[in-house]
Structure 1
Amino acid sequence: MFTENLVAVSAEPTVELFVARTPGPADRTLLVIHGGPDWDHTYLREPLVELAGRHRVVLPDLRGCGRSTRGLDADRYTPALATTDLVALLGSLGAPHVDVLGFSYGGLIAQRLVLAAPERVRRLIVASSSVLPVPPDAFDGWREREERRAPEAAVWSDPSLSGPDLTRAAAIAGAGANVWRPEALPAYLDRLAGAHFSGEWMRAWKAGNLPTARHRDAARRLAALGIPILLLHGRQDMIFPVALADETARLIPSARAVVIEEAGHMAHVDQPGPWLDAVAGFLS
């Protein structure tokens, strides 16, 4: 169902993005930006592959991620440069306008992409992410969150792990926090087993070269553009609090929030049917 190729997006330094895409009309292109960063796009293929034919679904790996170019200097991994790559990728897609879905960290990059090239984006989906900053006390008193996130915290503090091994171990240890429904966990772990993890962005973070991905004043600027925005969120998300989706919808007239019940950060894994219905309905 997917065709895969490398797309050159930068000459200095040379950067090629690994891109998977489904069949579908060019004028119904959905560009999907994965999170992590240091993950690849593959954990998002399902259920989005079901849009194939009606939409052309395009899933790149960001620079330093998955099967895209790695080995760059640490200061070459920034949200601004990742956004520049995606603007260049848009030029290769043969579509004057695209819809954009950004998931988790990718939701922050997606907002940057819209603000960098608003004339190229028809609609924006911010999935399991946030336009507004997360308050430091957002999860105070949620004991189950503390318990579920403890295994991942232990992995990040393990001095014996580094690079892609650390990223993979943290993703696996964090699965119980990111997936709310226990019955969905085995299939999610199988999905992670096939993912291509890296440690490139972690190098930038450790070197102090990784700026925040959150665009300053994003809510006001997105509101001024008037682009339709879907804020798609799991009720039990333990990374980005669900309350921020409703708050953002009040601030941006062109935005609406859809909250998926009994779903965590990986809402598309917990509730693939309702999640995909929300995406398809918004894009129709």
Structure 2
Amino acid sequence: MFSQSIVAVSTEPTVELFVAQTPGPAERTLLVIHGGPDWDHTYLREPLAQLAGRRRVILADLRGCGRSTRGLADDAYTPAAATGDLTVLLDALNTGDTGDTCDTGPVDVLGFSYGGLIAQRLALAAPERVRRLVVASSSILPVPPGAFDGWPDRTRRLAAEAAVWSDPSLSGPELTRAAAFAAAEANVWRPEALPDYLDRLAAVRFTAEWMRPWRAGTLPPARHEDAARQLAALGLLLLLLHGRQDMIFPALLAEEAERLIPSARAAVLDEAGHMAHIDQPTAWLDALTDFLS
């Protein structure tokens, strides 16, 4: 289903991205940007793999993540650097350096969670390269203080993850992995969807490259300043794909962004948490394909 390749995107420092892609027409390319960021892309493969043949789906591990280049200096892990890598990757897609010989033209971009923030940066930095933008389980607007007040179930579900982050015996990728598993009940809303999610987590190649500057307080913010106004001025067609029970980014922010950006529309799925594509895979994929058509 997925072919795999390594694509060089930087020489200073040397960075190669691990890229997985489905067969499909080059002119119907969907670039997918994972979250974490110290995760890999694999937890997003389904239901996106169902688009194979109809769309060429490109999933890349960001620098420092999964099977892409690791071991860089802490200051090499920034949202701007990740955005630059993806811009070069799009150039490689156009020139055939990833194994394709067809000119893709502008591509559709889906950014999930932290990847949604990177996707916004990419669209604003290279608007001519992006046909349509999907911000999934993420936010254009900042999360205001007290956004989750009065939601005791969220407090309960997040308690296990908080305990992991404060455990002095854990560090490195083991800490990233343990935190992801501890947060599983907060990220997936429907209990019947939890086993599938845990299976996906077991296959993720966790790292801790981005964690170092984050914990040191030197990681620049990923949110683009004034993103809502700039995206509105750009006029780019935009889908805000969200779970109603998302405990990371409030669903109300997707609906507020829809009101602020004339070219945006929100698709908020009921009975779905942060991992809305796992809680409601059919509805999630239907909303995506309807928007991209």
**Shorter-chain TM-score range:** over 0.9
Structure 2: how far apart are the matches of 1:203 and 1:63? 14
Shift of 1:136: 1.1
2:127 paired residue number: 118
Shift of 1:207: 2.7
2:234 pairs, out of 225, 242, 245, with 225
Contact in 2 for aligned 1:134/1:241 (Cα 8 Å): yes
Deviations 1:237-280 (A, max 9, x none): 00000000110000000000001110000000000000000001
2:60 paired residue number: 60
- 3-state SS of the aligned residue for 2:210? helix
1:2 paired residue number: 2
Name stretches of at least 5 consecutive residues in structure 1 with no aligned partner.
none
- 3-state SS of the aligned residue for 2:223? coil
- 3-state SS of the aligned residue for 2:140? coil
Cα RMSD (Å) of the superposition? Answer: 0.5
1:215 and 2:236 aligned: no
Name stretches of at least 5 consecutive residues in structure 2 with no aligned partner.
95-103
Percent of residue pairs bearing the same amino acid type: 76
Alignment-mate amino acid for residue 216 of structure 1: E
Contact in 2 for aligned 1:38/1:198 (Cα 8 Å): yes
Shift of 1:205: 1.2
Structure 2: how far apart are the matches of 1:178 and 1:36? 12
1:248 pairs, out of 230, 236, 257, with 257
Structure 2: how far apart are the matches of 1:187 and 1:54? 25
Deviations 1:100-135 (A, max 9, x none): 000000000000000010000000000000000000
Structure 2: how far apart are the matches of 1:86 and 1:20? 14
1:205 paired residue number: 214
2:45 paired residue number: 45
Alignment-mate amino acid for residue 32 of structure 1: V
Shift of 1:73: 0.3
Tell me which stretches of 4 or more aligned residues in structure 1 moved more than 6 Å. Answer: none
Q: TM-score, normalised by structure 1?
A: 0.99
Contact in 2 for aligned 1:29/1:99 (Cα 8 Å): yes
Shift of 1:209: 2.0
Alignment-mate amino acid for residue 87 of structure 1: T
Shift of 1:206: 2.2
Deviations 1:194-223 (A, max 9, x none): 011000000111233201000000000000
Structure 1: how far apart are the matches of 2:113 and 2:143? 13
Contact in 2 for aligned 1:9/1:17 (Cα 8 Å): yes
Residues 1-284 of structure 1: pairs in structure 2 closer than 5 A: 1-94=1-94, 95-284=104-293
Contact in 2 for aligned 1:127/1:233 (Cα 8 Å): yes
Contact in 2 for aligned 1:74/1:207 (Cα 8 Å): no
- 3-state SS of the aligned residue for 1:167? helix
- 3-state SS of the aligned residue for 2:50? helix
Structure 1: how far apart are the matches of 2:132 and 2:169? 44
Q: Report how many residues are paired.
A: 284
Alignment-mate amino acid for residue 192 of structure 1: L
- 3-state SS of the aligned residue for 2:10? strand
